[in-house]
Each structure stands twice: as structure tokens, then as C-alpha cells.
Amino acid sequence: MSRALASATELLRLDGVAQHYGKGVTAVTALAGIDLTVSRGELVAIMGASGSGKSTLLTIAGGLSKPTSGEVIIEGQWLSDLPPTRIAILRRRTLGFVFQDFNLIPALTALENVTLPLELDGWKSRKARAAGLEALASVELDDHANRYPDDLSGGQQQRVAIARAVVGTRRLILADEPTGALDSTTGELVLRMLRSRVDAGAGGILVTHDPRHAAWADRVVFLRDGRIIDQSAPAGVDTLFADAQRA
Amino acid sequence: MSIRQSLLAILDQGPCYGYQLRGEFDRRTGSTWPLNVGQIYNTLDRLERDGLVAKADTDSEGHVYYAITAAGHDEVTHWLDSPVVRTQATRDELAIKLAIAVTLPGVNISEVIQVQRAASLRTLQNLTRTKNATSEPESSEELAWMLVVDSMIFAAEAEVRWLDHSETRLARASARGFAEPLPLNTSSPKRGRPVKAEPAAQAAQASQTEQLAQAERAKHVGQAAQAKHVGQAAQAAPAGQVAPAGPLTTDAVR
Ligand SMILES: Nc1ncnc2c1ncn2[C@@H]1O[C@H](COP(=O)(O)OP(=O)(O)OP(=O)(O)O)[C@@H](O)[C@H]1O
Ligand SMILES: [Mg+2]
């Protein structure tokens, strides 16, 4: 594997990433050699049946766990070269992660959950608060800023988790089923917001079972049994597109 | 498509001449299904014949106006009050393709499904882009157009979901050994229509949403029917003459 400098637009690269769990007859191959690149301004959707390896791929891409083999490169930095403290900083500053199960801290308000990564990063609390409110507003939840997670509905908690992932200067957004608990209209609001962050120069991976949401991505990657079986990108203007366009 | 009722509903707003009617239809449907003037005049002729519209004034430029009649007004009300029953689902073509493919030897059906899913997703991506290029609708024309695009988006979504579902169903059937190809039946078929009241034919008339559920039920009915007919009519067929085989049984008559 060459360590040639990543192209200027490349945000994330997975090189031959594999993940095995267990040994012998009970061994599970969650990922079997994944190569994937995400550039600035690019939103990639990942689809695949339950157990196909989507969450595994995302946690590895986010440096939350180490793959059995293969490399993860974020903005030209090889994670295998970085000490844990540097990875932690990268996670705080560069990465926004939306977990499948939200992962909010129950003792903190919605706003505090959102601003936590900023505070940990040494932001002044006024500035962090303003950024937090802005992120909450982007998911139409700024009026619930002072509520605790337990006092929010599932969909509202999910939106707080999304706000936390996009707050501040996050450039790589990794979202695991971010619309699972949302109704159709709110789901679309979230996708529009993610899309606009990406259009403004971030990059993102969106894991979803919902084809309508996957369709917001520039590319849809299909996983089966830990392998990429297909990728789809809109091939320019097709007939339906032309038909649907206003005259 | 309910062009007839749509034009009538527009005429219910006031008399129009043909070309004007075309413009009204286009702007209310986002120009998604453009009509030619010929279609408009054909429809108007038929509406006139059926007493739902009548010729009214001709203006100085020679435009012939059509006005709705009382019967026409009632027809519009009835149309708006009744559900649309889909007799021909657009997915049929795809459902037929998969149903046939699953019975053929040497076809990688997961591949067929994946190729289709990727294509359907591309359609969905393109529609989503079209929609994303527009902000919230700011006029009723834009709103109407948005409804049409949404409808296409949801239809494409349904197709992808159905493909996901089919893939899982197939995997389960394979695991249980029920996804074997169907060989041609080797004995000659009787002439004429061997089995009446095909459940699958009924399913084709069901509304789109009911269709899968009904096909599901039809499968069981069909299996029973087929078992009963094994000794008689369903004894088929040299190549090309297989009797309308009916239901999509995957574990058939050997
Ligand atoms: N810690 C673990 N130990 C053993 N096996 C694991 C572990 N984590 C995940 N797996 C297995 O790895 C495979 C991939 O899991 P993963 O969570 O990535 O799937 P997924 O695609 O996200 O599924 P879902 O759509 O249900 O969220 C599964 O077979 C799972 O059982
Ligand atoms: Mg998962």
C-alpha cells in the first residue's frame, strides 16, 4: 500500500478494511475487505440487510474501533499511526457521529449534549452555546434546548443526536440510521440539513434502510455479507428526471 | 389516466376553449403528462357526446368555448368523492419478470434483483435531486408539481422496498430448498382454457396496495388448485404451449 498524499478533496478512505469476530466455527466476518472513499461535498449512503456490516463499517470509519486488518485514512492521517489521544481529538473536532441508539447523556440537557464535544475541545461556553442552538435549530428543536433526553420523544432524541453530530466545524458526518425514529416529513428535514452541510463542503456517510433517504446521497453503496456488491450514482439526467421537470 | 375527469373538473371552474384547457391541465400537473391538442379535442368530443359538456360561445378570435352541463358537474363531484382504483399497476412488468426469472434454471435472481434495485435507486436519486432543487412550494402550481414528484418518489421507494422484501423472501425460500427452477411439463396440454378463475388474474385487478397481499393469498389457493388439477388440465405441454400456469408457486408439480 502506498502512502501517497491523499488528494485535496479526499476526506475519508478505507483501504482493504476487514473485521472478524471470534475464532473457529463461531467466527464471524463482519467486513471482508472494504475499499471506500468519501470526498468533500460528497454524501454516500450505505444500504444492506440487517447484519451486513453497516454499523461495523461506520464505527471503524469513525475510529471508534480498530479493524482486524486494513487502513482508515481521515484527511490524510492514517489512524493506525495516531496515538489514542490524537484519535480522540480527531473525533471531537472533525467527526460527527450519529449512533443507531442515539447515545445521549441522560444527565445533560439537549443543548448540553450538543455542546459537549465543543466544551471538551475548549470552546468558550457562550460561543459553544450559540453553535449548539444553531445546530438544534437546524433540526427544528431549539425550543427544546433545555429539556433532558428522558423528557423528549424518540424522534426528538434522534434529532438532538443529529444536532450533536453537525455542531461546530465537523467535516465528516457519519450517521447510523439517523432517521429511524422520525416521521417522513421530519426525516426529510434532517436529510435536507445533512445535504446542505455536505454541499457546503463537509462529507458524510449515511447508513439507512430507507430508499427515499438513501436517494439524497450522491452514491449508494450496497453491502452484503461484509462486502460491497454494488454502487449506484445517478447517471446524469434520465427520462423520469426529464419528465418530472417543469417545462 | 383520468384526463377526461381532469378536463371536466377544470371546465367546472368556467368555460374554456381547447388550447386554453391544455394550458390549464399542464400548469396544474407540473407539465408531467403533456397532452396534445388532438387529445384535448377528442376528449371534448366524447364529453359532448355524453352530455357532460356543451359548446358555448365563440369569441372574436374564433375560439370555441365549452361549458360544463349539470350532468358534467355531477360527474366531477362523483370523481372527487370516489377512490381511484388501479387496474394496471406499473410494477406488473417487474413482478412478472421476477416471477418468471425465479422459475428459470441458471438465472442468478439476486443479481436480477440487485440490477433492478440499483436502477430504481438511481431514478429515486434523480427525482430527489429534482425536488431538492426546489425549496418549499410558493404557489399552487408549484405545490401541484411537488405532489406529482412526491408521488413518483414514493412509487420508486415502494419498488425498492419490494425488491428488498423479495430478496429476503428468496433467501428464506432457498434456505428451505423451495427456490428450485421449474422444468417444463412434459405431457401435452388439453386444448382450450384448462383452469378457470385463475387467482392470479383476480390479483391483477386488485388495487396496487392490496396486490402483494392478494398474490400471497392467491399462492396458497393456487397450490391447492394445482394439486387438484395435477391429474387433469395442468398436465402440460410441449415448449411454448404451457397452459396459463397461474400462481407463482415455486415448489411445483414435478
Ligand atoms: N462485537 C461483536 N461480536 C461478534 N459479532 C459481532 C459484533 N458486532 C457485530 N457483530 C456481527 O457482525 C455482523 C455485522 O453487524 P453490524 O452491526 O455491522 O450489522 P448492520 O449492517 O449494522 O445491521 P443492522 O441493519 O441490523 O443495524 C453481524 O453478523 C453481527 O452479528
Ligand atoms: Mg447497524
Report if residue A84 sits inside a domain: yes
Of the bound ligands, which one is closest to the alpha carbon of residue A49? 1
Lowest mean pLDDT among A12-16, B99-103, B154-158, B221-225: B221-225
Lowest mean pLDDT among A157-166, B148-157, B240-249: B240-249
Report if residue A243 sits inside a domain: no
pLDDT band (50, 70, 90) for residue B99: confident
CA dihedral for B135, B136, B140, B145, sign (positive or negative): positive
Domain count of the fold of chain A: 1
The pLDDT of residue A141 is: 94
Residue of B nearest to A228 (CA): B114
- Cβ of A220 within 8 Å of Cβ of B125? The answer is yes
Residues in B touching A242 (Cβ below 8 Å): none
- Tell me the domain boundaries of chain B: 2-81, 93-175, 199-253
A176-217, pLDDT tens digit by residue? 999 888 888 888 888 988 998 999 999 999 999 999 999 999
**Helix/strand/coil (H/E/C) assignment for every residue in chain B:** CCHHHHHHHHHCCCCEEHHHHHHHHHHHCCCCCCCCHHHHHHHHHHHHHCCCEEEEEECCCCCEEEEECHHHHHHHHHHHHCCCCCCCCCCHHHHHHHHHHHHCCCCCHHHHHHHHHHHHHHHHHHHHHHHHCCCCCCCHHHHHHHHHHHHHHHHHHHHHHHHHHHHHHHHHHHHCCCCCCCCCCCCCCCCCCCCCCCHHHHHHHCCHHHHHHHHHHHHHHHHHHHHHHCCCCCCCCCCCCCCCCCCCCCCCCC
CATH number at residue A100: 3.40.50.300
CB pairs under 8 A between A and B: 82
Q: If you search the block for the grid coordinates 421449474, which residue do you land on?
A: B182
- What is the pTM for the complete model shown? 0.72
Are the C-beta atoms of A9 and A39 separated by less than 8 Å? Answer: yes
* Percentage of chain A lying above the pLDDT 70 cut: 91
Instruction: Choose the closest CB to A240 out of B123, B132, B167.
Output: B123
The pLDDT of residue A21 is: 93
Please state, rounded to an integer, the average pLDDT across all residues of chain A. 88
In words, the CATH class of domain B2-81 is mainly alpha
Lowest mean pLDDT among A222-236, B135-149, B210-224: B210-224
| DSSP type of residue A64 | S
Does residue B135 surpass a pLDDT of 60? yes
The whole domain housing A222 covers 10-232
The pLDDT of residue B186 is: 78
- Cβ of B118 within 8 Å of Cβ of A237? The answer is no
B208 by Cβ neighbours in 10 Å (0-12 / 13-18 / 19+) ranks as middle
Helices (runs of H) and strands (runs of E) counted in chain A: 8, 10
Does residue B244 surpass a pLDDT of 60? no
Report if residue A245 sits inside a domain: no
Cell readout for B17 is 376553449
Query: ipTM beyond 0.85?
Result: no
Angle at A173 between CA A172 and CA A176, to 5 degrees: 145
Residues in B touching A212 (Cβ below 8 Å): 124, 128, 153-154, 157
> What is the C-alpha separation between A97 and A59, in angstroms, rounded?
9
